[in-house]
Amino acid sequence: MAHQRVPDARLERALEALAEPGRFRAIEAQLAARVPQLERILRQALEEGGWFGTVHQAEVQKAAFSSDPDERLRRVTTLLQEETRIAMMVGVAVGFELARELELPGQASDSDPLDHTGSGDDEHGGG
C-alpha cells in the first residue's frame, strides 16, 4: 500500500488527540508483555537504517576518550540526545507500520491510523 500525504489539518487533529491525558494507558498495558519483541524490531530497524554503524562508534570513542571533562560531558550529552531523537523517530515509523498491519480487512486504504477523533470532518475541515 502506497502512503498518501495526510492533510495538515487532519494530522494536527490527530496529534491533539494523542496529547489527551491517559491516551496511552491501555495500549501501554497491552504492549508491556511484548517489549522484547518490540525492542528486537526497533533494533533491527535501527541496524538496517545504519544509524549506529561505524560513524556512530567513532563518535562514541571520541566522547569516551576526550581528555577534557567538559568536552567529554558535552559530547556524551549530544550523543544521548541524538540517539534518543533517532530512536524515537524510528519507533514512530515502526508504530505506523504496526498500525497498517493491524488495519481491518476492507478498511479504507487512505485511513489515518492516528485519527481517532471521530469528527467526520473532511480533510479540508477546521481543527
| Domain ranges for the chain | 53-102
Residue 32 phi/psi, 5-degree rounding, is: -55, -40
Mean pLDDT across the chain: 83
Q: Which residues contact 16 (CB under 8 A, 6 or more apart)?
A: 127
Q: pLDDT by residue (tens digit) across 43-54?
A: 999 999 988 889
Confidence tier at 89 by pLDDT (50, 70, 90): very high
Distance from C-alpha of 92 to C-alpha of 96, rounded to nearest angstrom: 6
pLDDT of residue 4: 75
Weakest mean pLDDT among 20-24, 91-95, 102-106 = 102-106
Q: What are phi and psi of 84, to 5 degrees?
A: -65, -45
Is the pTM above the cut of 0.75? no
SS3 content of the chain, % helix, strand, coil (to 5): 60, 0, 40
**Eight-state DSSP code of residue 125:** S
User: 49 — phi, psi (to 5°)?
Assistant: -80, -10
pLDDT higher for 124 or 13?
13
- Give the torsion through C-alpha atoms of 33, 35, 36, 39, to 10 deg: 160
Enter the C-alpha cell of residue 71.
568536552
**Burial readout 35-53 (b: 16 or more C-beta within 10 A, e: otherwise):** eeeeeebbeebbeeeebee
